[in-house]
Structure 1
Amino acid sequence: MTEASDYVVVGAGLAGAATAWQLASRGHQVTLLERDIPAAHDGSSHGSARIFRYAYPDPFYTQAVLDSKVLWDRLALDAGTELITPFGAVDHGSRRQPDLLAKVLADVGIDHELLSAADARKRWPQIAFDTEVLWHPAAGVIDAETAVNAMVSLAVRKGARLLTGWHLESIERDGTGYRLFSSTGETFDAGHVVVSAGGWLPELLGSLSLPAGFLAALPAITVRQEQAFHFRYRDHDGGAAPGAGPWPTFIHKAADIQAYGLPGGRDAGFAGQKVAEYNGGRLIPSAAGQTGRVDPANRAQVVDYVRRCLPGLDPEPYAETTCLFTNTPNEDFLIDRVDNLTVVSPCSGHGAKFAPLIGRWAADLATGSGNVPDRFRSASSTAFTT
């Protein structure tokens, strides 16, 4: 027997869970299909540590973070749990343009400081700054897994259904709606479908019954198997010297590497900082091609970076992991719709902080009650309208 739902959301990561939460909160009949379990370990939304920050060179994204924070606060209140822990953030490096970031924050009234390298080293001697440094204290760390489970629970509380172990194989048009087929032969009928499949999206696109013109106009989507490493703090307080400030999150764009770091949370026992090279992993066809094996060359590069630039850390990693980055060429998101099928991909390693807002955008688009920024709809703007 084929089951049915007005709206089916495929994928229970941050974006899919947020979309289901938004749709269910508006009174729609919603089913959330997940290939494994929400925030599955082999997806992009597992674990306890994602950076929440306001600093962007593009004012559009800074304003979007402000809009997203309103929804994060509402989510935390409804769920009764903290989802973003404040740590503050520092941005530095010859290619990071801290002065430009400071101007963007100033224009929207976000508290910040622009520090000399010397003054920043006095405040955070555990970091070897060599350029001006932007500090904004409202940044922090998102507990991604807890956020996913909170949004799923709230959606279910509002009447949504969650089906786990449902691995989407293909979608076919069925009158004005769609029939979804699983890899085990199950079927599900939907009036509207939202596909938020993360790193599995590239392999699914050709089997979603998307019109050829729409499909051809989508931005190129690539997937990388990234790796992150946990390094112990040299003292128990997360600082490098008596009186040092606690470890902030950071983004460092130097001439030779773009690195980021954040307190690792429960992912590695609260004992250290999670550090990685941005887009330093190997390209894979889709999430199905991930191996979970860390690249020794990338490990050596990050260890060398920690030794040179983060003196407050023991430069030998005590834990390491792989994760997925799904990228578009310009690092914008993909939130687009044709007919009654919406495709959502919050791409390029910076989508977590926007999760509740992405859910609202996707729900607006899927229901026809609103739209999303044009920059996320390149396919429909060039080939189709909804």
Structure 2
Amino acid sequence: MVDQVVVGGGVVGAAAARALAARGERVLLVEQHRRGHDKGSSHGASRIFRMGYADAEYVALCIRALDAWRALERASGRTLLDLTGAVDHGRPDQIAAIHAALTDAGIDHELLTPDEAAERWPGLAFEGHVLTHASAGRIRSADTVEALLDLAASDGAELRFGTRVTGVEDHGDSVTLTLDGPGGATSVTASGVVAAAGSWAPTLVGDVLRGRGASLPAIRVTQEQPAHFPSHLPDGAWPSFVHWQLDGPDVYGLLTPGEGVKVGFHGTGPVVDPDHRDFIPVPEELERLQAYVARFVPGVDARDPEPISCLYDNSPDDDFVMDRRGPVTVATGFSGHGFKFAPLLGEMLADLATGGTPHPRFALLD
């Protein structure tokens, strides 16, 4: 018998396993795919870190997350976060709301005109209002997942890849999981399970939660298709950026060193079954992205995209879902903006799994 089984070897599961193992819990992490796979939401070399939320609660979480990132870097001995700065531009109401939230939190930032911003960042074109803050940049995402897995293992966690959970049985004060791995079908009983499986979480523990009178909100799984574009500029010319378009979907972008500038529409992809994806970009959407890049990202070659495929596990309000019922802790609904909080989320899930209370905003439905 182990204390906690963590299901999911992406960044949230790895962070939870690491946090639990560091507290002395006996942890088994199981991941249905290989280590470092590209089937979910955590693969790839870069993610944005930014504090530019219009919501005070998320800004507060960002501040805590930055401390958690620095602690993770110290523990792992790796550089995981590069503070290159970030810029938001577009709808005046959205920029004003971010400005107010950062001001209230005491986070240094600047307001610029589009011309001032274009002079500072010639690789971008701007519309509407512009805001920039320095406590932002990019996360070395693939390195982060590896750092968390390595730390979890060094603290005693067992890591099993290529192992799928095919059943979850709630015994009241413990749980038994049926596993299908390289050695065939086995089972493991634990004091608790942390279902940090993102897009797979509803299928994994939805029925068990309903048996306890709780339910997940409707999680909509989408296949997103950002792309890398070759840069004409040196790496230092690129901040992370978000464009709150006056007419069109929201857009994000950042440099991935050695691969180009990643640009994507936020949350516009088709709904998919996470187990049955084609990974093929929608041609019309790729053309629309290229047209956007040709207009607003002049520092890259819009004619030569390298498409990427990833999953979003979208909640109805884009809020995370992290809560516990009995021996079952669940984490999903990260809606394309959870990676920046990963080491903090791991600590929050470890708190939940060992008897803590959920963040009220992230609670399950009763």
TM-score by length of 2: 0.95
SS of corresponding position for 2:135? coil
Residue deviations 1:322-350, cap 9 Å, x none? Answer: 00000000000000111111111151000
Q: CA deviation at 1:130?
A: 1.9
- Which of 234, 245, 252 does residue 243 from structure 2 map onto? 252
Check whether the contact 1:169–1:207 (CA below 8 A) recurs between aligned residues: no
What residue in structure 1 maps to residue 4 of structure 2? 7
What residue in structure 2 maps to residue 298 of structure 1? 285
Q: Percent identity?
A: 39
Which amino acid in structure 2 is aligned with residue 61 of structure 1?
A: Y
Q: Distance in 2 between matches of 1:197 and 1:191?
A: 18
SS of corresponding position for 1:199? helix
SS of corresponding position for 1:306? helix
Q: Distance in 1 between matches of 2:334 and 2:11?
A: 12
Q: Distance in 2 between matches of 1:27 and 1:134?
A: 43
Q: Distance in 1 between matches of 2:70 and 2:38?
A: 26
What residue in structure 2 maps to residue 79 of structure 1? 76
Q: Distance in 2 between matches of 1:257 and 1:163?
A: 39
What residue in structure 2 maps to residue 220 of structure 1? 218
SS of corresponding position for 1:134? strand
What residue in structure 2 maps to residue 325 of structure 1? 312
- Which of 347, 357, 361 does residue 375 from structure 1 map onto? 361
Q: How many residues align?
A: 362
Q: CA deviation at 1:102?
A: 1.6
Q: CA deviation at 1:203?
A: 2.7
* Higher mean C-alpha deviation, range 248-257 or range 33-42: 33-42
1:282 aligns with 2:279: no
Check whether the contact 1:346–1:358 (CA below 8 A) recurs between aligned residues: no
What residue in structure 2 maps to residue 42 of structure 1? 39
Residue deviations 1:264-323, cap 9 Å, x none? Answer: 23xxxx242101111121011x31122111110110110000111111111113411100
Q: CA deviation at 1:175?
A: 5.8
Q: CA deviation at 1:17?
A: 0.8
1:179 aligns with 2:167: no
Which amino acid in structure 2 is aligned with residue 221 of structure 1?
A: I
SS of corresponding position for 2:308? strand
What residue in structure 2 maps to residue 272 of structure 1? 260
What residue in structure 2 maps to residue 242 of structure 1? none
Runs of 4+ in 1 over 6 A off after TM superposition: none
Q: Distance in 2 between matches of 1:96 and 1:166?
A: 47
For 1:149-168, list aligned pairs within 5 A.
Answer: 149-168=146-165
Which amino acid in structure 2 is aligned with residue 374 of structure 1?
A: P
Q: Distance in 2 between matches of 1:163 and 1:271?
A: 30
Q: Distance in 1 between matches of 2:348 and 2:333?
A: 11
SS of corresponding position for 2:54? coil
Q: Distance in 2 between matches of 1:182 and 1:311?
A: 50
Q: CA deviation at 1:209?
A: 6.3
Q: CA deviation at 1:206?
A: 4.1
In structure 2, do the counterparts of structure 1 residues 354 and 300 end up closer, same or farther at CA, with 3 Å as the change threshold? same
Root mean square deviation, CA, Å: 1.6
What residue in structure 2 maps to residue 262 of structure 1? 254
What residue in structure 1 maps to residue 227 of structure 2? 229
SS of corresponding position for 1:61? helix
Which amino acid in structure 1 is aligned with residue 270 of structure 2?
A: R
Q: Distance in 2 between matches of 1:310 and 1:258?
A: 14
Residue deviations 1:104-150, cap 9 Å, x none? Answer: 11222212110011111111122111222111112111112211111
Q: Please, which runs of 5 or more residues in structure 1 have no aligned partner?
A: 239-244
Which amino acid in structure 2 is aligned with residue 189 of structure 1?
A: T
